[in-house]
Amino acid sequence: MIKVGVFGAKGRMGAEVCHAVQEAPGLDLAAAIDLGDSRDALIGADVAVDFTHPDAVMANIAWCVEHGVNAVVGTTGFTPERLDSVRGFLGDEPSVGVLIASNFAIGAVLMMHFSKLAAPYFESVEIIETHHPMKADAPSGTAATTARIIAQARAEAGCAPMPDATTQEVPGARGADFDGVRVHSLRLAGLIAHQEVHLTSAGETLTIIDDARSRATYMPGVLAGIAWVSDHKGLTMGLDRVLGL
Ligand SMILES: NC(=O)c1ccc[n+]([C@@H]2O[C@H](COP(=O)([O-])OP(=O)(O)OC[C@H]3O[C@@H](n4cnc5c(N)ncnc54)[C@H](O)[C@@H]3O)[C@@H](O)[C@H]2O)c1
């Protein structure tokens, strides 16, 4: 039995994780805590799952490392500096695994993979992401990760900069810039998570779209991460590593 603790158990994602863990064979929901509860309820857990808030997640990861609890982290808002801090918590000889994935939806992970494959073959690539309006961070972690992956794939392939003659811009009109890849964020009531990657060249458009229609979408990926993380010490970024992509 893998003993699982959940940070953010009363939240939209955390509640779904608690339900999925309770239903999964081989997993035991050992603790479910939210804002104001003591983290000590998670002492003795094998794996902690964190879907909280960008302001809360760093302290939760530090606590997990200190208490020997492996961590599966879905909370978004990670910057390169934050990831360096996590590496600092883990030290040179990590005793636990920390898996951070900006998206646990298998379709979204494949979308990122396909975008990486396609990116060098088109002149222009831009991303539009749409989420529910209660989301704290913009752009989404998935969109930021996708943009960085695309930028890296294009740099490695020696692609020219994308054409863009904009010289006068209302701030934000061209979206956020991730190493030359633009990301546009929409916040619309009634939706959950949706992302489009538009790749174009003269005469041809390839559009890769992923839609999460319910939060259950993320659970197969979260459960795969829980089963995987204890055997992989140190920091791992992305569900693609778990899926072997
Ligand atoms: N990686 C993914 O696949 C994925 C998918 C959806 C959402 N997310 C991210 O997950 C996070 C949570 O999303 P949500 O929609 O469930 O948010 P939410 O606001 O519904 O839930 C967050 C919960 O965390 C609790 N919380 C805050 N600080 C805490 C702390 N220090 N300790 C314990 N609990 C604490 C809040 O009280 C709340 O109940 C966000 O960062 C979101 O972007 C990631």
Please state, in angstroms and rounded to a whole number, the distance separating the CA atoms of residues 226 and 72: 6
Model confidence pLDDT, tens digit, residues 8-34 = 999 999 999 999 999 999 999 999 999
pTM strictly above 0.95:
no
Please state, in angstroms and rounded to a whole number, the distance separating the CA atoms of residues 31 and 43: 9
Please state, in angstroms and rounded to a whole number, the distance separating the CA atoms of residues 219 and 4: 14
Catalytic residue flag (residue 10):
no
**Crossing angle for the helix pair 80-90 and 57-66, nearest 10 degrees?**
20
Please state, in angstroms and rounded to a whole number, the distance separating the CA atoms of residues 164 and 168: 11
Q: In terms of domains, do 208 and 237 share one?
A: no
What residue numbers bound the domain in which 115 lies?
106-213
Q: In terms of domains, do 167 and 151 share one?
A: yes
Residue length of the chain: 245
Q: Are 42 and 19 in contact (CB under 8 A)?
A: no
**Residue 146 C-alpha to ligand 1 middle, in angstroms?**
21
CATH number of residue 120's parent domain: 3.30.360.10
**Residue 240 C-alpha to ligand 1 middle, in angstroms?**
22
CATH number of residue 66's parent domain: 3.40.50.720
What token pair was written down for 80? 């390169």
> Rounded mean pLDDT of 159-166?
97
Determine the residue type at 244.
G
State which H helix or E strand residue 147 sits in: helix 141-156
Model confidence pLDDT, tens digit, residues 192-242 = 999 999 999 999 999 999 998 899 999 999 999 999 999 999 999 999 999
Ligand 1 in reach of 133 Cβ (< 6 A): no
C-alpha atoms less than 13 angstroms from C-alpha of 103 in its C-beta half-sphere: 26
Q: In terms of domains, do 153 and 222 share one?
A: no
State which H helix or E strand residue 101 sits in: none
Residue-level pLDDT at 102: 85
Determine the residue type at 123.
E
Mean pLDDT of the chain: 96
Supply the DSSP string of 187-242, one letter for each residue. Answer: E-TT--EEEEEEEEETTEEEEEEEEE-SGGGGHHHHHHHHHHHTTS-EEEE-HHHH
Instruction: Identify the active-site residue in 113, 132, 135, 233.
Output: 135
| pLDDT exceeds 90 at position 68 | yes
Q: In terms of domains, do 124 and 43 share one?
A: no
Determine the residue type at 89.
F
How many Cβ atoms are within 10 Å of 96's Cβ, its own excluded?
A: 23
Which mutation among 34, 35, 51 tests ligand 1's pocket best, with the greatest number of atoms within 8 A of CB? 51
Q: In terms of domains, do 60 and 113 share one?
A: no
Residue closest by Cα to atom 44 of ligand 1: 74
Place of tokens 């073959």: 121
